[in-house]
Homo-oligomer: A and B are copies of this chain.
Amino acid sequence: MRKISLWALASLALCTATAQTKLIGFTDANAARQATMEKTFDAQLQAQNLDTWMKFLSSHPHHVGSPQGKANAEYMAALFRQWGYQTEISTYYVLFPTPKTRVLELLGSKPYKARLAEPALAEDRTSGQRSEQLPTYNAYSADGDVTAELVFVNRGIPADYEELERMGVDVKGKIVIARYGGSWRGIKPKVAYEHGAIGCLIYSDPADDGYSAGDVYPAGPFRPKDGVQRGSVMDMPVYPGDPLTPGIGATKDAKRLDRKDAVTIMRIPVMPISYEDALPLLQSLGGQVVPASWRGSLPITYHVGPSRDKVHFKMEFNWDIKPVNNIIAKLPGSEFPDQWVMRGNHHDGWVNGAEDPLSGMVAEMEEARSIGELAKAGFRPKRTIVYCAWDGEEPALLGSTEWAEDHQQELQQKAVAYINSDGNGRGFVGASGSHTLEPFFNQIMEDVKDPQTGVSIRDRRYAKSLVDADKAGRAKLLANKTIKLGALGAGSDYSPFIQHLGIASMNIGFGGEDDAGVYHSIYDSYDHYTRYGDPGFQYGVALAKTAGRVTLRLANADVLPFDFSSFSKTVADYATEVKTLLETQRTDVETENRLIREGLYAVAGDPKKGFKVPKEKEVVPFLNFSALENSLAQLKTLSEDYQKLVANGTSLPPEKLRELNEILFKAERSLISDGGLPRRPWYKHEIYAPGYYTGYGVKTLPAIREAIEQRNWKEAQEAIDTVSKTMQTYNAQVKAAVGLVSPKVF
């Protein structure tokens, strides 16, 4: 009752103010109704709920297969049901290794046995739950027992190995130690393995998120000396999800690969360690002093190695099949129940996972609760809203991937968009996603207030970008005030939706004033989060307001707010980037080869160091971009036409409008190609993909860009042609949309 009266009050107060609102995709009348609804939606949000739920959900470790993980799923499912959602717990059965044996020791004259443990802190109430915590490890490491010299490989990315080669250092048969950062962690053992290493350690240097970054926990938010970043090293740039069931749902009876045939499992043992454990290992390294950019901030001289003494490193895992429990909660649409607006966040953590993922999860829950209240009060959305709480995101996007694979046909038919969030904190809004949603999301950012400053989250984000930008960046921002969406790479549960199924997606979160160093450690706790992450949960509420608006507007729009022009401009920019990349590579190779041929490298090197002159590189050919350029030129024209005519959309007869909306939300499907990307067919989106050698880091026009980066000219040319064909299919969709809104129809 109380809520109804609140609602009535809000609608009265706001109907005048919002009458003129122009909402993208809405008729004026529906826009006013929507604005009123959103005000009520906002008014119903209560920070206290986020606090209560986070406290419960993070009260014990809740990783895949844990009792608390199961309890959390049931707790959330019960709440979603209570809020009026048709809720089910959808369970899949996935390979989830946990360590049986972990040994790391430095042998020789100054032996050291790594502690591999994070101690409890009196100031952190959940940090002492030792028996329930997963040990510090990297999931999907290989089993292995190796003894070898150690080599320091900086971030462990391909460029670091090029530098090592110039220094005359080989990792073949060695164990490498890499520093966290500079790439997604799984890239490090993969590249190490490709170079012949037999083991890989990954440590958190204090320069990155330890004492150099700021005071360490509990005095401050940063990583204490024993803190370890757990995390997956599965080769997710090939495919995420259960390694044994690529492309299909890991149901109980699914046909499974033999583990040895699962290519995404690392081939060498890998383990993350603290900087306390890394110190004696790094001190044991001999050889040359590292290049300046490789230095961390431990109080030592960093050397590349090899180590004077050998390192013994042993990992053994329990290769168990574990259940992952997704919560799927539906609020059926009043007009278009077969059009699904999807909204998700994962619920599993590595340990207590307060920030990652619960800070985003509890915001999503409060958003769902408020929408449930709206529905109860008579404001049921037109389209079906599907709230998801994914399990097993941390090991490999397990829950979302298996569910999406299992429901792929239904999703391809019904999914309007997928809106994701994950960890959240104090600061500035950040969003990535399909660029068709860019103007839509820019409008939403105007309508949400920043809790600390009272300006819109758009204005605060813009101010921050402008203040932080260099001169060129500032000029650009002053000339064009649109907040660009980032492109989606990998790193959270949107991957299967956008990259495998071609469902327009977004990822939204706040941050930038919540810097910390407890990521994937036992210290990512309620105590830490409420002190340093988002005290008072005001940014949790801001996330609920933002993602809630995205969800509600997509659910209620008359004409779905997809904008082809933004997409067209963005892809044209990507095309320019890859052309420039090729040009740059050409001139770089020319100069580089000249320096090598003329002996300048040889002469410039220090003869006392093991400097090796690089080899001459193959001359970079010219490629034929014309097919791509033509298809993008066509898209430009078509998208401008659609832009001019879209206002006609709302006047269409219902059947035509339905047809238009279906074209709009399905257009993204035509950006996926059947064959997928070279060597990783699971990734089918031709515009966005996680980098094969960067992991989280997105590669746009990935097939073209990565072929150029890898100097595979034949494949680059083929990729240009494939993308051009994909764009033509897309253009046909846009053309159909233009046809529907063109005056001749009337």
Contacts and interface: CB of A to CB of B under 8 A. Distances in A.
Interface of A: 206-207, 211-216, 220, 222, 289, 295, 297-302, 426-427, 450, 452-453, 455, 459-460, 462-464, 466-468, 471, 474, 478, 513, 587-588, 591, 595, 599-604, 606-608
Contact of A604 (B212, B297, B426, B464): B464
Contact of A455 (B300, B427, B603): B603
Contact of A211 (B212, B299, B463, B606): B299
A211 B207 CA distance: 15
Q: Copies per complex?
A: 2
B591 A474 contact: yes
Contact of A215 (B301, B455, B471, B608): B301
Given A452-B607, A478-B591, A299 B298 contact: yes
B604 A467 contact: yes
B467 A601 contact: yes
A466 B595 contact: yes
Nearest to A603: B463
Contact of A206 (B212, B299, B467): B299
A606 B297 contact: no
B600 A466 contact: yes
Contacts of A466: 595, 600, 604
17 contacts: A212-B295, A212-B301, A213-B289, A214-B289, A214-B301, A215-B289, A216-B301, A295-B297, A426-B608, A453-B602, A459-B603, A460-B603, A467-B595, A467-B600, A471-B588, A474-B591, A513-B608
B604 A463 contact: yes
A645 to B, nearest CB: 36
A302 B297 CA distance: 12
Nearest to A591: B474
A530 to B, nearest CB: 14
A300 B206 CA distance: 9
A305 to B, nearest CB: 14
A601 B464 CA distance: 8
Contacts of A216: 301
Contacts of A214: 289, 301
Contacts of A513: 606, 608
Most buried by B among A295, A301, A468: A301
A301 B517 CA distance: 13
A299 B301 contact: no
A463 B297 contact: no
Most buried by B among A427, A478, A588, A604: A604
Contacts of A455: 599, 603
Nearest to A297: B297
